[in-house]
Amino acid sequence: MRYKIPVQIENEDTIVFGLSLRQLIIIAVGGGFGYSLFKTLSNSVDPTIALVFASPIFITTLVVALFRKSEMTFLPFVLNYLRLKLSPVSRMWQSSTESFSAIEIGYVNETNITERKSENTK
């Protein structure tokens, strides 16, 4: 007898403090950049001024790592927003059921090669 085991691959597994591995990596990399900027600037200026310059990096890192809107993380949300803004405002109705058309890549196979050879010989 077979049993179905539910698998939720859409949800990220939390590792520590309710953060996923992706979020931890983003925070570690952004925090590393911010900390290195802070340490570099604090050697030459007051640490308070260095913190003012490094804090936008920390804040941006936290926004990118923790952002979630309509079950989308930061990057898919930004890409969908740009696609919305760059696409035409009005959409034309099409009788087909496909919501988008795939890009023609043009696979090379034997029939394509023979067709091109026959077109070139004409």
State the residue range of the domain holding 49: 12-76
The number of domains in the chain is: 1
| Residue 102 lies inside a defined structural domain of this protein | no
Our separate counts of H helices and E strands in the chain read 4, 2
Q: Point out which residues pair with 16 in neighbouring strands.
A: 19
| Residue 101 lies inside a defined structural domain of this protein | no
**pLDDT of amino acid 103:** 55
Whether 61 and 26 have beta carbons less than 8 Å apart is answered as yes
| Residue 72 lies inside a defined structural domain of this protein | yes
Helix, strand, or coil (residue 91):
coil
How many Å apart are CA 68 and CA 75, to the nearest integer? 10
**pLDDT of amino acid 111:** 62
| Residue 60 lies inside a defined structural domain of this protein | yes
**pLDDT of amino acid 89:** 73
**pLDDT of amino acid 35:** 95
| Residue 118 lies inside a defined structural domain of this protein | no
Mean pLDDT, each 10-residue run in order, the chain (122 residues): 72 82 94 95 93 95 91 87 81 64 56 64 66
**pLDDT of amino acid 61:** 96
**pLDDT of amino acid 94:** 65
Tokens of 121: 């010989």
Query: How far apart, in Å, are the Cα atoms of 53 and each of 3, 30, 58, 61, 105?
Result: 56, 14, 10, 14, 46
**pLDDT of amino acid 69:** 87
| Residue 37 lies inside a defined structural domain of this protein | yes
Q: Point out which residues pair with 72 in neighbouring strands.
A: 69
| Residue 40 lies inside a defined structural domain of this protein | yes
Tokens of 98: 């496909």
How many Å apart are CA 35 and CA 17, to the nearest integer? 21
